[in-house]
Amino acid sequence: MSTFSITIEPTSNPAIKKFQANSFLVNHNSYEFKNIDEAKNSPLAQQLFYLPFVKTVYISQNFIAVEKFNIVEWIDIQDELSQQIESFLNDNGVVIIEDASTAKKVPVTVYAESTPNPATLKFVTNKKIVTETLEFKNIDEAKNAPLALALFHFPFVKEVFMDSNYVSIQKFEVAEWDDVFQEIREFIKNYMEEGKEILSENFKKTPQVVEQEKENKFESLDDTSKEIANIIEEYVKPAVASDGGNILFKHYDPETKNVKVILQGACSGCPSSTFTLKNGIETMLKEMLQGKINSVEAING
């Protein structure tokens, strides 16, 4: 059995702190408890409500968030609270007794956003979906991702891409988005509100594992490749993600000075995106790494 460790993270609300675990705590639902009576199905939340400063407890897949009353400051209590949660988990404490009728699920909202690729729409949710970017080109690749698998049962779904809090879907030409986007939006919303699996248990990774894998991969690169990867991460990836896609550094050849990047999600298969990104990245890298870059090749994922 894994040993739990807790890290403290701030949130946009100064009254709320997030206590993130290195392993998953509950299966698929998110829970919100306003008082000890509402928390009767959560031994962990009940214990937290014995602390007089605890106002609200939120429990999600791999974190507990606590909203406090103003009688105390976080700086005075957060370390002790973190240790208390960690001790509870390592003492085999029960986080949730799974019974949807007695726990209040956090409602899910889903809205659609257009992308530069007319064949792709981005469906954004108010709930974290995955801890890493995942791309599925067909139904066989989605065997460990039940949500993606279900989406492929729509005959017009060609590809599915998932990132932190959104799903990008590329369609076949047989359907127009105006005719089907509402159906897809409602399907994703209902799927998540019912607490169904997004990823199968053996396919899930905690944020800590994902971060460690990224760090290990980065450390294996040569110095120039590290520079290229950092530039892409800082200057290119945020803009690409906002358009429902992703870009990955693949390879740098020091002899030819050629760079290969992989395009995923909305960027994949979009001629204009491929051309724009290739030329934009190429220009940026040539300016920032003078003499080290000859060309950039953009490959569809």
Specify the DSSP element, H or E, that contains 190.
Answer: helix 177-193
Confidence label for 1 from pLDDT (cuts 50, 70 and 90): very low
Q: Residue written as tokens 């279900």? A: 150
Check whether 268 has a pLDDT greater than 80.
Answer: no
Quick one: tokens of 178? 């105006």
- Give the model confidence (pLDDT) of 217-238 as tens digits: 888 899 999 999 999 989 888 8
Cα angle for residues 160, 165, 170 (degrees, 5° grid): 20
> How many CA within 13 A on the CB side of residue 31?
30
Sort strands 110-114 and 120-125 into parallel, antiparallel or unpaired. antiparallel
Specify the DSSP element, H or E, that contains 57.
Answer: strand 54-59
- Give the model confidence (pLDDT) of 60-78 as tens digits: 888 999 999 999 999 999 9
- Give the model confidence (pLDDT) of 26-64 as tens digits: 866 788 999 999 898 899 999 999 999 999 999 988 899
| Amino acid letter, residue 229 | A
Give the whole-angstrom CA distance, residue 177 versus residue 266: 14
Quick one: tokens of 222? 């040569």
The predicted pLDDT at position 270 comes to: 67
The predicted pLDDT at position 103 comes to: 47
Average pLDDT taken over every residue of the chain: 87
- Give the model confidence (pLDDT) of 150-170 as tens digits: 999 999 999 999 998 899 999
- Give the model confidence (pLDDT) of 15-25 as tens digits: 999 999 988 88
Q: What is the mean pLDDT of residues 247-254?
A: 90
Residue 126: Cβ within 10 Å count:
13
The predicted pLDDT at position 237 comes to: 86
Sort strands 110-114 and 63-68 into parallel, antiparallel or unpaired. unpaired
| Cα R_g (the chain), whole angstroms | 22
